[in-house]
Each structure stands twice: as C-alpha cells, then as structure tokens.
Amino acid sequence: MDVHLAAVQVEWSPALYASAGVFRERMVALARAAVAEAGERPRLVVFPELIGLPLLLTAAGDDEAVRAPDVVSALSRLARRDAGRWLLTAWRTRRLGASALYGTYAVAAFRMWHDAFAAAARASGAVVVAGSAFVPDVDEEPSRGWFVRDPSVNNATLTFAPSGRLLARTAKIHLMPGAEQRAGLRCGRLDDLQVVATAVGRVGVAVCLDGFHERVLSTLDGRGAQVVVQPSANDADWERPWPPGPDRSEGEAWFDDGLRARIQARASLRYGVNAMLVGDVLGLRPRGRSSIVANLVGAGALPPCVDDPRWPGVLASAPDAHSEAIVTARVPHPGP
C-alpha cells in the first residue's frame, strides 16, 4: 500500500489573518489542494512553523495590528488599548511580561488555530500537522469550556486525525537564540515527545531546529516513529552564506545537514516531511524550500530523486524558496 505525503509551503501575509473565517477557509483550501492527487491512499499534510502566531493579533480584535511593520509596533499598539487586560492576566496567573500578553488572547487564538486545522483535517481526510503557534497549554472541559491549563508559553504544534480530533501537542525543545529566547517561551522537554499511530504510519514531530538535533531524532526513532514531520520558519535568506561555514549557502546547509541527512540509516524512521513558511508579516520574512525525504537504507522501491544528485533521498522539493507551493510524494507505506 502506498501513502500520500504533502508539505504545504504557505505564503503568509496580513490579509491571511483578517479574521478567523478567512484563515480557516484558506487552510481548508490548501489542505484540499494538497490531497487532490491522493486517490484513496492514506494521507499526511504538514503546515509550517509559526503559521498560527499572528492569530494572537486576530484574537485581539485590532484589524491594523497584524499590518504593523514589526512585532514591537504591533504590541505597542495593543498595549495602548489593552494594558488593563494584560495587567489583569498577570495578576491572575502571577506571571509578568510575555506570558501575560499571550495569556490575554490565548484561548481565543488557540480556538481559531485549532478549529481551522481540525476543519482542514476533516475536509482533506488527512492526518494534519498544524504548523505551530506561541501558545500556553489550552484545554477543554465541559464545566469550564476552553481554559488555560498552564500559562507557560511554548512554540507548539498540533497533530489532528482525519476526523478532526486532536491527537498530540508537541512543544519545540530547542529555541532559536535571540528572537525565540527573548519572546518569553518555555522549552519543551525531550521526555514529552510523542509518537502517534496513524494510517500513514507512526508519526513524530520535530519543530524546525529540533530536526537538526541528534537527541530529538534518536528519541523519535527509538520510540518507533516512521515519519518525522518538521514544520519550519527559517527567517533568513535562503541564498545567503551560511553563518557557521560561508563556503555554502543557507539552503545548501539545510539539504546537506538537515532532515534528509539526519534520517539516514535509522532503525524506524523512513520518511521526513519539512514544510517551510514564506512571505512577510510583522517584518518577519521566512524563506525556504519545503521537501519530502527518505531514508535510503533498505528503502525498497521509491520515487526517483527529482533534485540535485548531491542530495540523495530528496524525493520532492518546492521549486523556489520564496513562493507558495505544495510538495507531494507517493511512497510505500513505512510498514507495520
């Protein structure tokens, strides 16, 4: 049996976050497009890191905040209007700074994000990995409705079953030095990594930088993951010299040292799906080529590599690092 893997390279823009309805409709449309050639095969659709982050501004109800030139300007605009709400959240949670900010809009933003990708999963009949957002741990219980279970904020992703039911929440473990560390985020824990059984195989998530770390990949492999998903938002020019070694470009380093290389010769991991974010929101201009890769050791019959022969195992990739694209591959089921 074959399975259908898809990485959605989303081009974000302020217009995408005009309302919860606009965001949901676009995610549903992209998920449907991603499985248009899946036939009756089991399917997995992956969205990029940070795709849910601007929903905090949508939830704040300020139409202009998401159009601000940078994050600081957007937050300054909201601070003038919502300082009282931020202080009340800080008092209730006994947390200041970014946690109070996120907590003020957390439930509404989480619901927008959750509901959009639950709808995308149902509409596409796919296992859907919903990119990521900066959110505290939000839960739902009949007598309380939706509420913040833990006010600590992670860069976290959600995985949905084709029914739209939530399967897993995964928090990013290795935060990017600088921006993410200054954003008041809490690191996820290696011990909390989950592997979920789905029709496309056992799926684990490594959020962006986590996919470059041996301990994350070896942990997922040891727990039996067969497909590793890497939602990414690389806020750097894809063609720039790579800072640790300027003899190659940013993009070359991703293919040389990233998910393609890191899954080779693993015991359980067979495939990797990396979905990249592109576009321009709040002065953030991520760039990257989404890809689907395979572990070539004992892989059996696979689609031919369509890219540069320097990178064996790349089954499919986006044509460029700047435009919206859907990358797909039909591959043998990874096994029992």
pLDDT (tens digit, 9 = 90+) per residue, 242-262?
988 889 999 999 999 999 999
- Vertex 228, ends 222 and 230: CA angle to 5°? 135
pLDDT, residue 96, reads 63
Backbone phi, psi, residue 288, to 5°: 165, 160
> What HEC string does 10-60 produce?
EEECHHHHCCHHHHHHHHHHHHHHHCCCCCCCCEEEEECCCCCCCHHHHHH
| Contact assessment for residue 220 and residue 269, using Cβ atoms and an 8 Å cutoff | yes
Structure tokens at 28: 């549903």
pLDDT band at residue 270 under the 50/70/90 scheme = very high
CA distance 121 to 195: 18
pLDDT score of 330: 95
pLDDT band at 133 (very low <50, low <70, confident <90, very high): very high
**Mean of pLDDT over the chain:** 91
**Residue 94 DSSP symbol:** T
Strand partners, 273: 229, 292
Mean of pLDDT values over 266-289: 96
What does the DSSP assignment read for 138-168?
EEEETTTEEEEEEEEEEEEEEEE-TTS-EEE
% of the chain beyond a pLDDT of 70:
93
Residue type, 159: T
Identify the pLDDT of residue 336.
Answer: 84
Q: Which domain holds residue 303?
A: 2-332
Structural element, H or E, at residue 254? helix 250-257
Mean pLDDT computed over 43-66: 93
The number of folded domains in the chain is 1
The first and second tokens of residue 324, run together, are 């919206």
Phi, psi of 250 (to 5 degrees): -55, -50
Instruction: Identify the CATH number of the domain in which residue 318 sits.
Output: 3.60.110.10
Beta strand extents in the chain (DSSP E only) = 2-12, 43-47, 127-130, 133-141, 145-160, 166-171, 195-198, 201-205, 227-232, 271-279, 291-294, 314-317, 325-332
Q: What is the pTM of this model?
A: 0.94
Q: Check pLDDT > 80 for residue 294.
A: yes
The strand pairing partners of 203, in sequence order, are: 196, 227
Q: Classify the C-alpha dihedral 169-173-176-180 as positive or negative.
A: positive
Q: How far is 225 from 267, CA to CA, in rounded Å?
A: 9
